[in-house]
Structure 1
Amino acid sequence: MKQVFKYIEEHAEMYLDWLLEACNQPSVSAQNRGMLEMKELVKLFLGKIGSKVEEIQTDGYPIIYGELGNGKEKCLTFYNHYDVQPEDPIEQWASDPFKAELRDGKIFARGVADNKGNLIARICAVHAYQQIYGELPIRVKFIFEGEEEVGSPHLEFFASKYPEKLQTDGIIWEGGQREVEDKRLHVGLGVKGICYVELICKGAKTDLHSSEAAIIENPAWRLIWALNTLKNEKEEILIEAFYDDILPLTDKDRKFIQSMAYNEAEVKNTYGINSFLKNVTGDALKERLTAEPTCTICGIESGYTGEGSKTVLPSVAKVKLDFRLVPNQKPEKIAQLLREHLDRHGFNDIEVIPSHGMHPFNTNPNDPFVDIVLQSVEEVYQEEPIILRNLAGSSPMYKMLKNTDIPAVQIGVANTQSRFHAPNENIFVDDYIQGIKVTAAVLHHFR
C-alpha cells in the first residue's frame, strides 16, 4: 500500500480540487436547491473512475448507484449522501458556505463534513488504487442518495426493490470523525434510533383574556402536567414498559465504551455548563451518552411570547419531543407506549402526532469486516482508534439494512469540532487525505 499512499500524497492537490468542486455546488434537499446539478456532478465523479452509473428514480431525489469490478468474489459498498443542510444562519459564516475556502489547514463549506468530504474521499481512494494496481481486488458498489438530510424517505424503497444492488459483504457508512486533540479516529459500529413526535393540547376555540383563566382550562398548564408524567428529576423515563426491550451491554460493549476519549472539561467549557446530568463522569458518562435512551423536549409553543406583555389565555399548546433509542427499541412501539401512557394518566385528549422515526442499528463487533477496517485504520493512523458501539445520534442504517446480516462500519474525514449542520462547517485537509488512504487500505485488505 505504500505506493498507493504515495500516489495519494503526490496528488493531494487534485483530490482537494475535486472536493472543493463538490462543495461549491449547493445541494439543499429541504429547499430543492441545486439538487439536479449536484446529482449530475456525482455521476461525473463516478465516471472519473470508470464506474457503471445508474440513476434510480424515486418520488423524491434520485439515488445514484455505481458499480465496479464485476466478476470479483468479494464486494464492498460505500453509502453516502449528496444533499446537505440549509446554510442558515448565513450571517454567522466567516465565508460563503457554497464557495469552499481554505484557511488554517481547514476546508470551510456547507456539507464538507456532512457528507461530501466522505463521498469524494471514497471515489478518490478507488481512483488512487486504480492508478497503481490497475484493477480492483474486489467489486465495489456506490449508493449515493439525495435525501438523507430530510429523513431518507426512499432508502427503504431502494432496499426492497433492488435487493441485488444492496447485496454486499460489507458497507463503509457515510461518516465518522476524529478527535481534535489526540487525533484518535472514531470507528462506529452503529447508531441510536429516534422517535420524534408532537403533542397538541387544545382548550377554548380561540385565545381568551387571561381573566378567564379562573374558570377555563389553560392547555399550556395541562400540557406541562402531562410532560411531568414522562420523566422525573432523576432523568428516569416513566413511560410504562419503555425500557423493557433494551438489550443489556456485553463485556465487549463496555470495553468499547471505556476506550472512548471524552474531554469533559473541554465539552463543559465549549457548552458553557458546569456539570453533566446527575453529575456523572468517566465511564458512566460515556455509557449514558452512547448506550442509554433519552426523552427530550425539543421545543414548546403556546400563547404570546413577543415583546411586551399580552394578558392572554392560550387556546393551544404544542410540544415537540424526541426519544433517542438504543438497540432493540422500536420507534413505532415507543409512540404507542406514549399514547397508552397519556391515556392511563388521564390525558387522552392530548393528540400525539408521530413525525418520523428511525430504528437503532448495530453491527456485530465480532464480524470479520470490523477486523479488516480496524486493520486498515492501524495501517494509516498512528493513534489507537476509539471504537463506538453506537453513536449518540441517528442514521438511516436500519432502513437500508434491516432483514440483512450486512455489517456496516463508520469511518470518516470530519473532526469533533467540524460544526455539523452549523455555520462554519469544516474539516482538516490532513484528515481528508488520511480518509482517502484508509479507504484505499480497506479496499486492499477486503479480499
Structure 2
Amino acid sequence: MTQPDRAPSDSAPDLTPFTEQGKRDLAVLVALESVSAQGRMLPETADAVTRLLEAEGFTVQRFPGQVAPILLAEAGEGPRTLLIYNHYDVQPETPSELWNTPPFVLTEANGRLYGRGASDDKGELVSRLAAVRAVKARHGGTLPLKIKWLIEGEEEVGSPSLAGFVAEHTADLQADGCWWEFGSVSEDGRPVVSLGLKGIVCLELRCAVADSDLHSSLGAVIDNPLYRLSRAIASMRDDSGRVSIPGFYDSVRPPSGADLKALESLPDARPPLQESYGVRGFLGNADAHEVSRRSNFEPALNVNGFHGGYGDAGSKTVLPASGFAKIDFRLVPDQDPAEVVRLLRAHLDAQGLSDVEIVELESHEHAARSDVAHPFVQTALAAARESYGQEPIIHPSAGGSGPMHSFIEHLGVACVAMGIGNVGGRVHAPNENIRVEDFASGVKFGVAFLEALSRE
C-alpha cells in the first residue's frame, strides 16, 4: 500500500494525505457486502481488514466466530496500551429502492460520503487506521504506544461470540482503556462522547388460534391472534412509555451525581430528531431534560413490527390463524436480560395470555457504563477539546446497545465511544452517510488521543 509522505517528527503532520487514504480504504470496505444477518461476504471482509492492518505493521490473529471471523491485531510499544473495538459487519441495505446512491458504492455528494457502513462501522474503523498512520509518520514509522485492536463481524446480529471470546482471552486484551466503536459530532461541530451502552433483549411474541385461516364470520365465536397480541403489547407499557411489567424496575441502578451533572451540558436532542426524521412528538410531551434523562438512564420497551393476517389491496374477510410481533427492551446497568424475560412471562400469564409464546432472538446484552472521572476518560475528553476546539457533549450512556458489558466485567477497563457519526447519518437506514469534515476531524482526534496516551 502506498504510504502518505511523512511529516517531520518534530511537527504535527499534515493530515490531509492520511484522510484521503482513509477515504480510499473506506471505498474498498463499503464495496464488500458484509451483511451478517444474511451471512454475506464476511470472510472476504475479514480478509480485507486484515490486509489493511498488516500493511501498517499489525500482527493479526484470526479466530472463528459463530457467524464471522474475529480479528485480534497488535502493534507498537510504549508505556500505555490502548484497546480498540470495531466491527466490519453491516445492516442489510433494504429497502434498497429508498437509496439515492448505490448502497455498496461509496459516493461523495454535498459534503457527505454515502454507503452502507460509511458510518457504522467501517468509517469509524478506517478513520482510526488513518490516525495510526499519521502518528507513525510523526514518530519515524513507529507507534509510541501499544495498540490492541479487536474487530468482529457479528455486532449487527448481537455479537453472539464476543462475550465468550473476551472472557477466554482476558490476558491478551489487557489495556489501560478501550476506544469503543462509534461516536458522533453535533450539528454545531461539538464532539459527542458516550461512556456507556444500554443492554438489550430482542423477543418475538407469537399467538395461534387455528391451523388455518378462517372465515371472519367466525370471529363471533373464535378469538383473534392479532387481538391477543394487541392486548399483550398494550399491557406492557403506559402512554408515557413507562414499562408496566411488575418488578421490571426493581434492579435499575440509579445515576450517580456525576452522571446527572453531565446531563446539564447536553443540548436539546428534540429539534435534530424532528428535522432529520420528521418526528411528530415525544412520549409524555417530554421536555429537553426529560428526553436526555430517559435516553441515558431509563430502560424502554419498543415494538419493532406487528405481523399477521391480510395486508394487500382491498379487503379479505379472514380471521388469521396466527400472528407475531417483534419487540425489544433497552436495559440499564444491573438489569438482567434473563430476568426480564422471566418477568414478562409471569406478566403475560397474569393477564390471561399464557397462549402468547415468547421466543428469544439473537444474543442478549447487559448494559454498561464507565465513570466519567476515570483517568482514561479524562484523557479522551482532553483530546476531544484539543482537536475540536470545543467542549465535548458527554452522554453517560448512549441510547443504543452493544457488547460493552463484557469488556468492563472481564477486563475492568473504562470504555469511551468517540467517532465520526452525525445526527443525520441515517445509520441502519437507507442513505447512511458521514460528513467529510467529520471524517477529517475524526482522524485529527485520533492523532491527539494516541499522542496523549503515549505521553502519559
**TM-score, normalising length: structure 2:** 0.93
Mean Cα deviation higher: 371-380 or 301-310 = 301-310
User: Is 1:279 aligned to residue 285 of structure 2?
Assistant: yes
Deviation of 1:5 after TM superposition, in Å, equals 4.4
Cα-to-partner distance string for 1:327-374 (whole Å, 9 max, x where unaligned): 211211111100111122222222111213211111122211000000
Q: State whether residues 5 and 437 of structure 1, in contact with CA within 8 Å, keep that contact through their aligned partners in structure 2.
A: no
Deviation of 1:136 after TM superposition, in Å, equals 2.4
Deviation of 1:83 after TM superposition, in Å, equals 1.3
**Pairing partner for 1:314 from 317, 320, 324:** 320
The answer for the alignment partner of 1:169 in structure 2 is 176
Q: In structure 2, do the counterparts of structure 1 residues 230 and 406 end up closer, same or farther at CA, with 3 Å as the change threshold? A: same
In 2: Cα distance, 1:94 partner to 1:48 partner: 34
Q: In structure 2, do the counterparts of structure 1 residues 421 and 225 end up closer, same or farther at CA, with 3 Å as the change threshold? A: closer
The answer for the alignment partner of 2:207 in structure 1 is 201
The answer for the alignment partner of 1:140 in structure 2 is 147
Amino acid at match of 2:315: S
Q: In structure 2, do the counterparts of structure 1 residues 221 and 15 end up closer, same or farther at CA, with 3 Å as the change threshold? A: closer
In 1: Cα distance, 2:428 partner to 2:11 partner: 33
Q: State whether residues 26 and 98 of structure 1, in contact with CA within 8 Å, keep that contact through their aligned partners in structure 2.
A: yes
Local SS of the residue matching 1:236: coil
The answer for the alignment partner of 1:419 in structure 2 is 426
In 2: Cα distance, 1:9 partner to 1:243 partner: 50
In 2: Cα distance, 1:269 partner to 1:17 partner: 31
Q: State whether residues 304 and 327 of structure 2, in contact with CA within 8 Å, keep that contact through their aligned partners in structure 1.
A: yes
Local SS of the residue matching 2:121: helix
Please list, as runs of the form range in 1=range in 2, the aligned pairs for 1:6-85 lying within 5 A after superposition.
Answer: 6-70=13-77, 72-85=78-91
In 2: Cα distance, 1:444 partner to 1:149 partner: 31
Q: State whether residues 331 and 359 of structure 1, in contact with CA within 8 Å, keep that contact through their aligned partners in structure 2.
A: yes
User: Is 1:335 aligned to residue 341 of structure 2?
Assistant: yes
Amino acid at match of 1:149: E
In 1: Cα distance, 2:126 partner to 2:366 partner: 28
Cα-to-partner distance string for 1:122-144 (whole Å, 9 max, x where unaligned): 21111111111133222111111
Cα-to-partner distance string for 1:181-230 (whole Å, 9 max, x where unaligned): x1111101001111111111221332211111222222222222232321
Cα-to-partner distance string for 1:262-319 (whole Å, 9 max, x where unaligned): 3533433443344311111121121122221111222112222222211112221321
User: Is 1:252 aligned to residue 258 of structure 2?
Assistant: yes
Local SS of the residue matching 1:113: coil
**TM-score, normalising length: structure 1:** 0.94
Local SS of the residue matching 2:381: helix
The answer for the alignment partner of 1:370 in structure 2 is 377
The answer for the alignment partner of 1:432 in structure 2 is 439
Amino acid at match of 1:183: G
Mean Cα deviation higher: 337-346 or 387-396 = 337-346
The answer for the alignment partner of 2:395 in structure 1 is 388
Between the aligned residues of both structures, percent identity stands at 37
Aligned residues: 445
Q: State whether residues 173 and 411 of structure 2, in contact with CA within 8 Å, keep that contact through their aligned partners in structure 1.
A: no
**Pairing partner for 1:88 from 86, 94, 101:** 94
Q: State whether residues 159 and 401 of structure 1, in contact with CA within 8 Å, keep that contact through their aligned partners in structure 2.
A: no
Local SS of the residue matching 2:47: helix
In 2: Cα distance, 1:102 partner to 1:16 partner: 10
Mean Cα deviation higher: 241-250 or 86-95 = 86-95
Please list, as runs of the form range in 1=range in 2, the aligned pairs for 1:161-310 lying within 5 A after superposition.
Answer: 161-180=168-187, 182-310=188-316
The answer for the alignment partner of 2:451 in structure 1 is 444
Q: In structure 2, do the counterparts of structure 1 residues 4 and 106 end up closer, same or farther at CA, with 3 Å as the change threshold? A: farther
Local SS of the residue matching 1:175: coil
Amino acid at match of 2:326: K
Q: In structure 2, do the counterparts of structure 1 residues 385 and 289 end up closer, same or farther at CA, with 3 Å as the change threshold? A: same
Amino acid at match of 2:164: F
Q: State whether residues 219 and 317 of structure 1, in contact with CA within 8 Å, keep that contact through their aligned partners in structure 2.
A: yes
In 1: Cα distance, 2:279 partner to 2:74 partner: 48
User: Is 1:127 aligned to residue 133 of structure 2?
Assistant: yes
Local SS of the residue matching 2:13: helix
Please list, as runs of the form range in 1=range in 2, the aligned pairs for 1:350-369 lying within 5 A after superposition.
Answer: 350-356=356-362, 357-369=364-376
Q: State whether residues 190 and 392 of structure 2, in contact with CA within 8 Å, keep that contact through their aligned partners in structure 1.
A: yes
Q: State whether residues 245 and 343 of structure 2, in contact with CA within 8 Å, keep that contact through their aligned partners in structure 1.
A: yes
**Pairing partner for 2:118 from 112, 116, 120:** 112
Q: In structure 2, do the counterparts of structure 1 residues 442 and 273 end up closer, same or farther at CA, with 3 Å as the change threshold? A: closer
Mean Cα deviation higher: 353-362 or 400-409 = 400-409
Deviation of 1:43 after TM superposition, in Å, equals 1.1
Unpaired segments ≥5 residues, structure 2: 1-7
Amino acid at match of 1:18: D
Q: State whether residues 358 and 399 of structure 1, in contact with CA within 8 Å, keep that contact through their aligned partners in structure 2.
A: no
Amino acid at match of 1:278: G
User: Is 1:397 aligned to residue 397 of structure 2?
Assistant: no
Q: State whether residues 155 and 400 of structure 1, in contact with CA within 8 Å, keep that contact through their aligned partners in structure 2.
A: no
In 2: Cα distance, 1:2 partner to 1:429 partner: 27
User: Is 1:349 aligned to residue 355 of structure 2?
Assistant: yes
Amino acid at match of 1:433: A
Q: State whether residues 66 and 160 of structure 2, in contact with CA within 8 Å, keep that contact through their aligned partners in structure 1.
A: no
In 2: Cα distance, 1:192 partner to 1:159 partner: 19
Local SS of the residue matching 2:247: coil
Amino acid at match of 1:206: S
Local SS of the residue matching 1:300: strand
Unpaired segments ≥5 residues, structure 1: none
